[in-house]
Amino acid sequence: MQRTRRTLLQAVLSVAVVLAWTGVPFHTTSAQAEGLANPGDLVNAILGGGTDEPQEFAAVLKPVKAGTWTQADALRVGEAYEQTRQWVNAIKLYEAAMEYAEKQKMPVDGGLEYALRRTRVQFGIDRRYADSSFENDMLAMGRAEALDLLEDVMTRVQLEYVDVVSSTKLVSHGTESLYMALGNDRFLSKHTSANGNQTAAAKRVRERLIRDFWNRPVRSRLEARMLVTEVCDIAQREMGLSSAPVVLEYLFGACNALDDYSNFLTPDRYNDLFGSIQGEFVGIGIEMEGEKGKGMHLVNVLLDSPAEDGGLRPGDYIVEIDGRDCRQLSTDEAAQLLRGVRGSRVHLRFESPEGKQAAATLTRRPVHVKSVTRALILDSENGIGYIRMTGFQNSTADEMDVALRDLEAQGMRSLIWDLRGNPGGLLDTAASVIDRFIDNGVLVSTEGRSADQDQTFRANNFNTRNLPLVLLVDENSASASEIVAGAINDHKRGQIVGRKTYGKWSVQSIVHLPGGTGLKLTTAKFYSPGHHNYAGKGLAPHIDVPLPENVHRTLFRGRTSDEISIDPDVARALEILDRRYTKN
C-alpha cells in the first residue's frame, strides 16, 4: 500500500459539493412553530410528512437547548425523525439534548446515547448506497478482495490511529453496522427481494448476530477475518446475501469505532478530497445543502464557474436536474445526478429566494477553487484592507502573497482577515500562511502515537508583516483556521472577533488503498504555541459578536466595500481598527 504523505486539517463541513442531508421536517408558520414546541404535537407534525423552512428547525431545537424538554421528550421527537428517515435532524436533536445535559452536569440517558449512535450508523448506510462508486465498484468485489481491504484498514488503524483501538472494538462496531443494515430499507431493497421470506431471513440473521457475535472477543486481525467469514457464510445460507455487502458493513463499521474525522473513502469521496486539496475539480462549481420540499439550497457558487456563468447565485434553489424533480432528494442523491465527465452537460431549473424560476444548461469543466476569494480596501482613508480565505490548499500561500502585495500597493496599513466558515485544509499550508504575520517562535505543534507525527512549526522571520490585524472567526472556522486563531491568540498578534471556533484540533493523514479507495485517519493532535488544545471546546474570540437568530446559512458574497462593511463582524473589526487610528 502507498501512503499519501499529506496531513489534512479539515472539519466535516462544505468542500465542493456539500454531502450532508440537512432538510427540515414540517411546514409551519412562525406562529405555529411556537405551538409545536409541545413534543406530542411536533411528533404528529413530523409523521405527517410535510416540509418546512430552515429557521423552523431552529425553533424545534430551542426548547432542547433551553432545557424545557426532558431527555425523554428529545428521544421521542428524534425517533419520529428516524421513522421518516430524517437522520440529520435526529442527530442534531440528540446532540443538542446531550450537550445541554453535559453543560448542566446531568447524567445522559443511555437510550439517548444509543439513539445518537444508531442514527449516525443509519445515516452512513443511506449515504453509501447513494454513492455510485460504492455501488458500482465496491459492491462488485469478491469475498477475498473485500476481506483483504478490511484487513488493510484494520492494520492501518492499529498502527497509526492516534489512540489504541482493539480488534474486538473494531469488529464489534462492524457487527453492529451489519445488524442495523439488515433493518435498513435501502440496504434490503438493494440486496433482497421484497417478500415475507426475506424479511424473516433478515430477522434470523440479526438474532444470530446478537446471540453469537455481539461483542465477541477478537484477539487478532486473523481472528477478525475468520469471524467475518463465518458471518458471510450465515448471511449467504439464510438470505442468499453475497459477501461484499457483509464485509463492507464490517469495514465501515470499524471506522465507526474511531473519531468523527476518521472515515473510509469510497473512490468518489477519495477523488473529491484530493480535488479539495489541489483546489481543482470537474463539475459546475457549487456548494449545496438539500432542504426537503424546496430543493438544493446553494450555500455558495464558486467564482468563474459554469454555475456562475449560467446565472446561479448563492441563496438560489436547484429544483430540477436533467428533468428530474430534486426537491425531495437528499444532497447525496442530487450530487450523484450532478456528477459527470468533463465536457458533458447538465440542465438545471432553479429558483431564487423570491420564487422566480429560471433554467440553464451547464457544461462540466475543471473549476479552480480559489482559497482567497475577496481582497479589497474597505477604508481607503485609514488603509484598512480585507481578505476572505475559504480554505487552506496547495495554492493558498501564493494566493495570500498576491493579495497582500496588491492591497499594500493600494495603501493598506491594517488588515481584517476573514476565516469565518473556513473548514481548514493542509497543515503545512496553515503554518506557512500564519508565518506571514508572526516573526518568531512556535506557530503550531503536533503530537501523535508515532515519532513521525511529532512536528513543530516555527516562524522563519522572513518578509513578515507587522501591520495591525483583526481575525474574524465563527462556529464553522475549524482545524487549520484554528491553528491561525491559536497562534494569533498566544502571540498576542491581533484581535479575534466573531464567535467561538468549531473545536477540531486534530490532524488527519490520507492513506491510499486498493481500488481507488482511501482512509482518512486521525494520527495526531495539534497544539497552539502555548501548548493548548481546544478539541471539542473551540477557541473563544476576544470580542464576541452574537449570531442573529434564524440565520439561513449562505456564503457571504458582498462584492463592494460597502456591502462587506455592513456585516456585523466586519463592522466590529472596522470599529476596532478605526479607533486605533483615531487614538494615533
Q: Are 362 and 284 in contact (CB under 8 A)?
A: yes
578 flagged as catalytic: no
490 flagged as catalytic: yes
SS (H, E, C) 436-470: CCCCCCEEEEEEECCHHHCEEEECCCCCCCCCCEE
Given 131, 152, 379, 490, the catalytic residue: 490
The residue assigned the cell 449467504 is 236
Long-range contacts of the stretch 530-537 (C-beta < 8 A, 24+) = 530/490, 531/445, 532/486, 532/490, 533/505, 534/482, 534/486, 534/501, 534/503, 534/505, 535/503, 535/504, 535/505, 535/506, 536/503, 537/500, 537/503
State whether residue 49 is helix, strand or coil: coil
- DSSP letter at 514 equals G
- Using CA atoms, how far apart are residues 213 and 150, in angstroms rounded to an integer? 18
In the chain, the N- to C-terminal Cα span, in Å, equals 60
Q: Are 362 and 306 in contact (CB under 8 A)?
A: yes
SS (H, E, C) 140-156: CCCHHHHHHHHHHHHHH
- Using CA atoms, how far apart are residues 558 and 388, in angstroms rounded to an integer? 11
Neighbours of 76 (CB within 10 A): 15
User: Is the four-CA dihedral 81, 87, 88, 93 of positive or negative sign?
Assistant: positive
Given 262, 371, 395, 479, the catalytic residue: 479
User: Which bin fits 153, alpha (ψ -120 to 50), beta or left (φ > 0)?
Assistant: alpha
- DSSP letter at 305 equals S
Phi then psi dihedrals of residue 17, to 5 deg = -130, 120
479 flagged as catalytic: yes
User: Which bin fits 556, alpha (ψ -120 to 50), beta or left (φ > 0)?
Assistant: beta
Residues present in the chain in total: 584
Helix (H) or strand (E) holding 327: none
Nearest residue to 277 via CA among 574, 529, 15, 470: 15
- DSSP letter at 110 equals H
β-partners of residue 458 are 442
- Using CA atoms, how far apart are residues 444 and 458, in angstroms rounded to an integer? 7
Q: Are 131 and 334 in contact (CB under 8 A)?
A: no
Known catalytic residues? 479, 490, 504
